[in-house]
Amino acid sequence: MRRAAAAATEPLGAGVRSPRPSRAFGRGLAALAAFALAAAGRPALAGESDRAGAAGTGGASPAAPPAGATLEGSAELSTYADTDNVTVITPTARAGMRDDAEGWRLGARYLVDVVSAASVDIVSTASSRWREVRHVAGVDGEYGPGDLRGAASASVSVEPDYLSLSGGLSPSWKIDDDHVTLAVAYALGHDTIGRADTPFSVFHRTLVRHQMAAGASFVLSPSSILWLGGDAVLERGDQSKPYRYVPMFDAATTERVPRGAHVALVNALRRDERPLEQLPTARDRYAVTGRWLHRSSWATLRLEERLYTDTWGQLATTTEGRYAMDLSERLTLAPDVRLHVQSAAGFWRRVPTVSETAAGVVIPTLRTGDRELGPLATVTVGADVRLALGPRVAATRMALVFRLVGIHTSFLDALFITSRSAVFSAVGFEGAFQ
């Protein structure tokens, strides 16, 4: 069971608000109250919001804030295909309204994941190709009458065997004459994990997530911003996959099961016992992130490093770099590269073994076949092209965005496969109407 994608589509040119608290206060409070009761979307740290480049970092637009509200809309269609026979098609739509002069924003989004998989994990259990559709809906909003700004969001994800609800708040505070923005966030998630074709009333598990984050952005110079932050996620509940069976081996056969062992070899050497996956029922995740952005006269360099650890014993480092170049007034090209390396969870065993005692066969209490809990390294290289269909500053602004990404993962200690290559592509449209 996995974490889902965050949805944050950068809007067309965000001006900086010049709040008029007396007029905006009531509307903002009403908006926040509505979100607290209804809610969805990605409650990014307020300092991380799509306005953060200007407002969250204490920046100031060279232009006056636009008068009146702006309607925004975007749509994206993305596809994913990999060498492990998994394909995903994801259409996404987002709509919203904002008033930068009064300092508020409201938004809603909806996406559908259509997954088709015949991966080696499925083949190894003699199952046929598997298809599933996931629906995600969310709302989010922000309001900031001055240096203090608040954001709220909530979302729901529904699929035949999984229901996830999440909601959160994320205030931020600008200090030191807008040179520093402090931000905190909290979100509560409640997942119901079931089995396909089985009502939740017959079988389900519950997973609760408390997600906390805190950070600060610093204006280092007229062209540089630094973000330092940390986040913690406390997960409680059994998130073992109810479909994943783990092959067991005798200790004597360990040497005969190499990395990437073929399904046929595994089936020939494994024991008859094939228990379901069993993971620990609590997991605490911690990460720290540093991000540096620098803007030259025609390009923006973005460098990011994230360090991760958790109570399952996994360590990880993720390094990203992106260079967005303004090739013309309307055309932007942004290549990027990403490297992710992680160690195995403490209970990870490529070849899990049983022990035989006088009382019978003893199966390991904790066991998994999820290779994403093993050691791996992923290299991602991509680029996006953004073509504005009109002037950057206009009452009606539209843009097309294209993205193409190549992903290669090396599984350093896993059964069945040693690597996976994938291609991700997306085409999107963004519009803003004032």
Residues 54-93 that bind another protein (CB under 8 A): 54, 56-62, 76, 78, 80, 86, 88, 90, 92
Q: List, in order, residues 6 or more apart from 268 with CB less than 8 Å away.
A: none
Token pair in block for residue 87: 């394909």
In the complex, the smallest distance separating the C-beta of residue 393 from another protein, rounded to whole angstroms, is 11
Nearer residue to another protein within complex by CB, 25 or 429: 429
Give the whole-angstrom CA distance, residue 75 versus residue 92.
5
> Any idea how long the chain is?
434
Site membership for another protein, residue 127 (CB under 8 A): yes
Any contact of residue 288 with another protein (CB under 8 A)? Answer: no
Decide: is 10 part of the binding site for another protein (CB under 8 A): yes
* Number of chain positions touching another protein (CB under 8 A): 138
DSSP 123: H
Rule CB under 8 A: which of 248-277 touch another protein? none
Q: Which of 17, 145, 153, 246 is in the footprint of another protein by CB under 8 A? A: 153
Q: Which of residues 313-352 bind another protein (CB under 8 A)?
A: 314-316, 318, 322, 324, 332, 334, 336, 340, 342, 345
**Residue 133 CB: number of other CB atoms within 10 A?**
12
Per CB under 8 A, does 278 bind another protein? no
- 282-372-344-193 Cα dihedral, nearest 10 degrees: 10
Kindly state the smallest distance separating residue 395's Cβ from another protein, in Å. 17
Asked if 189 touches another protein (CB under 8 A), the answer is yes
| Closer of 253 and 396 to another protein (Cβ) | 396
List 34, 97, 122, 265, residue binding another protein (CB under 8 A): 122
Q: Return the number of the residue (208 or 361) whose C-beta is nearest another protein.
A: 208
- Residue 356 vs 372, nearer CB to another protein: 372
3-state DSSP assignment of residue 12: coil
Whole-number Å distance between alpha carbons of 141 and 167: 12
What residues numbered 18-57 form the site for another protein, per CB under 8 A?
A: 40-45, 47-54, 56-57
- Distance of alpha carbon 382 from alpha carbon 336, whole angstroms: 5
The yes or no reply on residue 415 touching another protein (CB under 8 A) is no
- b vs e for 148-168, b when ≥16 Cβ sit within 10 Å of the residue's Cβ? ebbbbbbbbbebebbbbbbbb
- Rounded distance between C-alpha atoms, residue 96 and residue 81, angstroms: 31
- Pairing, β 148-159 against β 162-169: antiparallel
Q: How far is the CB of 149 from another protein (least distance, A)?
A: 14
List binders of another protein among 350-409 (CB under 8 A).
Answer: 370, 372-374, 376, 378, 384, 403, 405, 407, 409
**96 binds another protein per the rule CB under 8 A:** no
Q: Segment contacting another protein (CB under 8 A): 23-31, 65-73, 141-149, 424-432? A: 424-432
To another protein, the closest distance from the beta carbon of 65 in angstroms equals: 11
C-alpha–C-alpha distance, residues 274 and 270, integer Å: 9
Residue 111 interacts with another protein (CB under 8 A)?
A: yes
Q: Does 95 bind another protein (CB under 8 A)?
A: no
**Closest approach of another protein to the CB of residue 362, in Å:** 26
The residues pairing with 421 across neighbouring beta strands, listed in sequence order, are 408
Could you give the CA distance from residue 109 to residue 42 in angstroms, rounded to a whole number? 10
CB of 260 to another protein, least distance (A): 17
Residue 74 phi, psi (nearest 5)? -150, 155
- DSSP 8-state assignment for residue 202: T
Please tell me the distance from the alpha carbon of residue 275 to that of residue 357, in angstroms, as a whole number: 18
Using rule CB under 8 A, residue 227 touches another protein: yes
In angstroms, what is the minimal distance from the CB of 183 to another protein?
9
Q: CA 23, CA 311: separation in Å to the nearest integer?
A: 48
Asked if 282 interacts with another protein (CB under 8 A), we say: no
